[in-house]
């Protein structure tokens, strides 16, 4: 009889957990958690699968040596893309402005406070301005040096290549420099463009027939055909594009 009483009490404890002598609520917590916790759902598929990127039509101006009309780069292929140094971006105008402010300060100092020590017969000492030609000469040196610095920065910026695209079914190159806005570069015939090594391993030179000077290609951090790598691999990729596999400049 005692045995059947224990069985009945156990059944009542499961049916009514709050009854006296029932199992503790903590003992039912794992079962409750297993029932109320939702099952993990599989990840949903993307609603919009990625689509191929189409080239964007951009009108650009021809180079000086082409003589052709505006070209369309709808069929362009990105050959080279460099990392533009911060001092060749819009920060260059901050550098120019600071340099101009420095020149104004220095010229004013030269004209007003460029003095010399003068001893008088009574033993007194005074400071007088130097002759005007000396003050003007010193000011001219400051202005000339500052002008050379700013001119060098802007010219180098104009020759620092940022983007090279192969256009016109491989017959021409579209070149943008750090000074150009998007779509305002130049078009050169492919046969007129030659690349050659630079003294530095991180740079290459591009010479264009009919254009004075040379363009500089920064290899550190650059991409060739959309792939980035060390300068030695970027250089090899450019040679392969210009002169074929294994080709080099002569």
| Residue-range domain boundaries for the chain | 2-36, 59-85+160-243, 91-155
Does residue 157 surpass a pLDDT of 50? yes
**Answer CATH for 59-85+160-243 from 3.40.50, 1.10.3470, 1.10.10, 2.30.29:** 2.30.29
Going 222 to 226 to 232 to 236, the CA torsion angle's sign is: negative
What does the block give as tokens for 243? 């002169």
What is the β-pairing status of strands 215-218 and 160-167?
A: parallel
Nearest 10 degrees: Cα torsion 239, 241, 246, 249: -40
Does residue 178 surpass a pLDDT of 80? yes
Region class of 59: left (phi > 0), else alpha (psi between -120 and 50), else beta:
beta
pLDDT of residue 163: 94
Residue 9 makes CB contacts below 8 A (sequence gap 6+) with 21
Does residue 42 surpass a pLDDT of 90? no
The label of the residue with tokens 């090279």 reads: 164
The mean per-residue pLDDT over the stretch 100-125 comes to: 89
pLDDT band, very low/low/confident/very high, at 126 (cuts 50, 70, 90)? confident
SS3 category, 105:
helix
The mean per-residue pLDDT over the stretch 124-131 comes to: 87
């Amino acid at each position: 009889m005692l045995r059947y009483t224990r069985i009945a009490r156990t059944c009542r404890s499961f049916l009514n957990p709050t009854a006296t002598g029932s199992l503790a609520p903590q003992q039912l917590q794992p079962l409750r958690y297993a029932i109320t916790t939702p099952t993990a759902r599989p990840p949903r598929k993307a609603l919009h699968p990625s689509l191929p990127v189409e080239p964007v039509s951009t009108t650009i101006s021809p180079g000086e040596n082409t003589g052709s009309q505006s070209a369309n780069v709808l069929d362009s292929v990105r050959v080279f893309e460099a990392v533009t140094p911060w001092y060749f971006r819009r920060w260059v105008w901050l550098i120019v402005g600071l340099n101009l402010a420095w020149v104004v300060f220095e010229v004013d100092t030269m004209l007003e406070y460029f003095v010399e020590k003068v001893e008088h017969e009574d033993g007194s000492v005074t400071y007088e301005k130097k002759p005007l030609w000396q003050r003007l000469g010193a000011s001219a040196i400051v202005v000339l040096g500052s002008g050379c610095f700013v001119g060098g920065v802007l010219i180098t910026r104009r020759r620092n290549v940022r983007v090279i695209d192969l256009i016109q079914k491989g017959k021409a190159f579209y070149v943008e420099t750090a000074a150009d806005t998007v779509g305002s570069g130049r078009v050169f015939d492919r046969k007129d463009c030659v690349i050659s090594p630079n003294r530095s391993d991180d740079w290459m030179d591009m010479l264009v027939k009919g254009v004075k000077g040379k363009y500089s290609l920064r290899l550190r951090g650059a991409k060739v055909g959309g792939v980035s790598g060390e300068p030695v691999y970027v250089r090899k990729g450019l040679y392969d594009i210009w002169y074929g596999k294994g080709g080099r400049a002569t």
